[in-house]
Amino acid sequence: MLSGGAEVATRGKSTPGAVCRLCDRPGYITSEDIVPTWLRKHIIRTYGPFPGGQAPRRIKTRICRSCNGGLGRRFENFAPQLLRPLVDGEDVTLTPDQQSFVGGWITKTSIMGNFAGANPSDWGFDLSRSILSVMMASGHPPVGTSVRIAYCDVWDPGERGGNIQTMLPGKKAPPHDFFAVTTLGYLAWEMVTGLANYIYPFMDQTDRMNSKLVRIWPPRKSAITLSRLNNSIDHGEKDALREAFMRAAKPGMPEPYIRKWVFGET
């Protein structure tokens, strides 16, 4: 069961006059899909059936039309053209502008995953709301955010407890506010946000030692190419990377809500 404002939606009705969880103002409240419906349906059609007959769940949170539209305009306009080939594991070349878009979409989606499942009294609720508000205003992730992507084989679970030594120096992750290590189809991502003086030097170090994960935010000055031949991690490495970030989380930080809607996993 999801906590807080997250819901596994069937058919939700709009609510006029209620207070929005995100902007804290009264408005016409609607249901916002954390993962776009077109993407969820594409994954089900392409990669189902899933183990145990469990299809990816439709996870939504209720926010006002203004916030819903603001997030959509900033981070969803070119989503199908850029995200579908990544989800399908195709060889993809991303320009700096395209890196910015995909990095922004991943950050928004990851933070929404935490925000949607949080109660107002939970650790990080106000911080995640603040980050989303800044992103709506600026169109970009906040300073101190890093996004790296790779491919992870949908059909091959790999060995669990992977070799984190090949992913992070010293098996440690930096102190941070929020993180997400997850997959959608073939696309795997690592999103972390916190203080820039912790995050950016650490990512510079890992970029030098690991060519599998490709940084797209902050965007590079030139185009990057992602391929399953050169940029694939297995599920064991993904799990080990996630656990490293969990160990580096601030005391009292809850387990990331994003883990509750990872596609193809329980």
Residue 67 and residue 205: Cα distance in Å, rounded?
37
Residue 23 pLDDT: 92
User: Is the predicted pLDDT of residue 106 greater than 70, yes or no?
Assistant: yes
Each residue's pLDDT tens digit, 1-17: 222 334 333 344 566 66
- Compute, in degrees rounded to 10, the torsion defined by CA atoms 231, 201, 167, 46: -40
Each residue's pLDDT tens digit, 121-178: 877 888 899 999 999 999 999 999 999 999 988 766 555 544 555 667 666 788 888 8
26 alpha-carbon distance from chain centroid: 28
Mean pLDDT of 199-226: 88
Each residue's pLDDT tens digit, 51-92: 555 556 677 888 999 998 888 888 987 778 899 999 999 999
Q: Are 199 and 192 in contact (CB under 8 A)?
A: yes
Q: Give the predicted TM-score (pTM) of the model.
A: 0.84
